Amino acid sequence: MTKSHLLTSQYNHAHVDFMASTVAFMERQKKTIDVCMVEAKIPSEHLDFFRKRLAHYRAIYTPQQ
């Protein structure tokens, strides 16, 4: 793996992580967001990572009972 490819991969993960955080935060604010539409914009090789991070952020942003 080249240094350039590694940097691109890290950037993509940071970007996808930010997208997951944003979606979860918007859901917490009761804003309408189409997760399927967001997922459609993510390259297939990053979808699993997005879904894991989305679950993580949803857990964080869910109020404790």
pLDDT given at position 62: 84
pTM (2 decimals)?
0.81
Which of 27, 13, 37 lies closest to 58 in space, CA to CA?
A: 27
Segment 28-38, tens digit of pLDDT: 999 999 999 99
pLDDT given at position 7: 46
Q: What is the mean pLDDT of residues 7-36?
A: 88
How many structural domains does the chain have?
1
pLDDT given at position 4: 52
Structural domain of residue 40, as residue ranges? Answer: 3-61
| Residue 35, domain CATH | 1.20.58.250
